[in-house]
Homo-oligomer: A and B are copies of this chain.
Amino acid sequence: MQHFRSHYNSEVQMIRGGFPQPLISRTYQTSFLKQRSKAEIKVVAAKKHSEAEKRRRMRINGQYETLRTILPNLIKKDKASVLAETIKQVKELKKKVSKLEQDSCGNSSKDVVKFPSGADRLSLEKCSNEEGLVKATLSCEDSQGLMSAISRAMGSVKTKVVKAEIVSVGGRNRSVLWVQGLGNDRMGMLKSSLKIAMHKPAFKMRRSTQ
């Protein structure tokens, strides 16, 4: 405010001619009044301007404030640090989300329950985000000996199932098997072994009549 007034005074003074005016003629006086009202208009505009600018600043600073409350572990509270931390957080969160979305081996949270396909299917796929891990997905007729058959297929290529996800519904089965320690060369072997297991489990268990 102080600042503003000083600017205003110096401005009016400059308009007046920049030096003291002891006695002035009538024409000079009217001209001076005209100038003064012009200056007045200008001042009003300036005031409007500065108020608008203040509103803008407040809007922006409000955003900074909410950012400060949102961000955790914010040590330095100055604007630059807030922005820097924000950028860091956004990047981290984005990475986290994309990690979580592709979710370990492609079983995204969107398909927690993926039902067996009606048609028989078998696919092997290397996990992009885990070295030496292969994901085998199969859909086939459900039968009592199926799991044993699959186990034997696994054993035949000397691999270890690290994780399995199995859904049986309506006489159909869908199994996803994460297999560790399978060389490129033995992927084909595993595939054919699994194919056999899917279609004719080596021996069928008797259905227990409980």
Contacts and interface: CB of A to CB of B under 8 A. Distances in A.
Contact of A163 (B99, B152, B165, B210): B165
B104 A101 contact: no
Interface in A159-210: 160-169, 178, 202-203, 205, 208, 210
Interface in A69-118: 70-71, 79-80, 83-84, 86-87, 89-91, 93-94, 96-97, 99-101, 103-105, 109, 112-113
B160 A167 contact: no
Given A83-B60, A101-B100, A109-B104, A161 B168 contact: yes
A205 B202 CA distance: 14
B208 A152 contact: yes
A66 interface: yes
Which range holds the interface residue count of chain A?
Answer: 35 or more
Contacts of A22: none
10 contacts: A63-B86, A67-B83, A89-B90, A96-B97, A97-B97, A99-B109, A147-B147, A155-B210, A165-B165, A203-B208
